[in-house]
A = this chain, B = another copy of it.
Amino acid sequence: MFTELAANLIAGATLLRTTLQDPGTAELSAAVGRLKDIEHAGDDLTHSILLKLNTTFITPFDREDIHALASSLDDVLDFIYAAGVRLDMYGIHSTLPAAVELAGLVLAQCRTISSAVSALERHDDVLRLCSEIARGEREADYVARGAIATLFEKEQDPIRLIKHKELYEVLETATDKAEDVANVLESIVIKAA
């Protein structure tokens, strides 16, 4: 079920990056609507995991860890969806290169999360993949800070500045949440050691 949740996460991150590459189309609202469906599918999967947890006697890992993993995966998708919402809510119709780059980093992290979730039962590669996810967060931090500094230098309109700044920040927070997933995975491996 976590494999399914990770696949759904990759679908969301992929759609977000595509949408950010060309937000000027008439289909922006439709794309954000599809992102919402993906987010709901994630919620339903998370809920099924928690219900199953409640009625199963034997689980492969600690119940609490399964709970934490499901919740943290859900958080990543929440911020992916939140970034899409900003596009629609703030009427952002031009391509922002730094936003596309950040969405690319989120997507890369989601793919690594998916690999780490698959590697979890074997344990061996998880810590290396977690470091890779953490590295993605640091890179996103760097990209977002550069984009925001440029914004404060160039943008004269405070209202547009607020919109773009928040989009960069929401994308950067998605990478923070991906790092939180890595921390949960790391602590599962540590406990099992």
Chain A residue total in the interface (Cβ 8 A):
30
Classify the interface of chain A: helix, strand, loop or mixed: helix
Task: Say how many copies of this protein the assembly contains.
Answer: 3
Given contacts A63-B191, A89-B152, A190-B54, contact A161 B159 (CB under 8 A): yes
Across-interface contacts of A85 in B (CB, < 8 A): 145
Q: Who on chain B is nearest to A183 by CB?
A: B71
B193 with A54: CB separation less than 8 A: yes
A190 with B159: CB separation less than 8 A: no
Task: Write the residues of chain A forming the contact surface with B, with a CB cutoff of 8 angstroms.
Answer: 50, 53-55, 63-64, 67, 71, 85, 89-91, 127, 145, 148-149, 152, 158-159, 161-163, 165, 183, 186-187, 189-191, 193
